[in-house]
Amino acid sequence: DYIAGICGDLHGMLGVIEGFNKFLGPQLKAVTGDPEGIDAMLDRVRGMTKLVVDVDFDVFDKKTFSDWADVDSDFESEKEAIERST
**DSSP assignments along the chain, one per residue:** -HHHHHHHHHHHHHHHHHHHHHHTSHHHHHHHS-HHHHHHHHHHHHHHHHHHHT--S-TT-GGGHHHHHHHHHHHHHHHHHHHHH-
* Contacts for 16 with CB less than 8 Å, ≥ 6 apart: 48, 75, 79
Provide the residue-wise pLDDT of the chain in tens; the chain has 86 residues.
Answer: 999 999 999 999 999 999 999 999 999 999 999 999 999 999 999 999 999 999 999 999 999 999 999 999 999 999 999 999 88
Whole-number Å distance between alpha carbons of 41 and 9? 22
> Could you tell me the pTM of the whole model?
0.89
